[in-house]
Amino acid sequence: MTLVLKMLRNVDESVADWLPSRLPIIAAKFALRHRIAVVLSPSPSVRANVIYRDSIEESQSAFGFYSHFPSRRAVWAPPRCSGLIVVAANLRPLAHQICERREIVAETICHELVHYEQWRDGRKPTERGVEQRAKALVRAMVRDMPQFLKRTSVQQTE
């Protein structure tokens, strides 16, 4: 199946201009069996309020999170999607070069897709090995396509 990109308003242009052409490359690294929404948030971090039994637990802020449906924990589901990834797209601009910001966004999407695979395969959610795998996947994408993190434009051929 596929990743469905949804950008909220005011997403960092250097990410908004670049990700639509790269998301299929990221998706191709995973055996997706569901439609997963990837929502880009115009914020330096995101945080999920997790509903568990009768209490709301606020998670730590992070670059991204993943949730699947149907889930008693999920309070919002995009239409026709089985899972949701929310990614912080407006990383503090002065702290990172454009390519670094894109690298973090790509790694975050990969990281959350590894959590999707854990769910898909009926495994327990764990952080073990997830970040290493996400970084290795993005390294492989850059190796296969040296322009992966570079600026794209309609004039440019790749």
Question: How many CA atoms does the CB half-sphere of 104 hold within 13 Å?
Answer: 21
Kindly state the smallest distance separating residue 156's Cβ from Zn ion, in Å: 34
Kindly state the smallest distance separating residue 111's Cβ from Zn ion, in Å: 5
Q: Which is nearer to Zn ion, 14 or 115 (CB)?
A: 115
Kindly state the smallest distance separating residue 117's Cβ from Zn ion, in Å: 12
DSSP string, 17-56: TTHHHHHHHHHTTS---S-EEEEEESSS-B--EEEETTEE
As a whole number of angstroms, the distance between CA 44 and CA 129 comes to 24
Q: Which is nearer to Zn ion, 58 or 127 (CB)?
A: 127
Cβ atoms of residues 26 and 140 within 8 Å? no
Region 72-131 residues binding Zn ion, contact defined as CB under 5 A: 127
Q: If binding means CB under 5 A, how many residues of this protein chain bind Zn ion?
A: 1
Q: How many CB atoms lie within 10 A of CB 76?
A: 10
Q: Which is nearer to Zn ion, 14 or 84 (CB)?
A: 84
* C-alpha triplet 83, 27, 18: angle, nearest 5°: 105
Region 20-59 residues binding Zn ion, contact defined as CB under 5 A: none
Binding mask 120-139 for Zn ion (x = CB under 5 A): -------x------------
Q: Which is nearer to Zn ion, 96 or 133 (CB)?
A: 133
**Interface with Zn ion by CB under 5 A: which residues?**
127
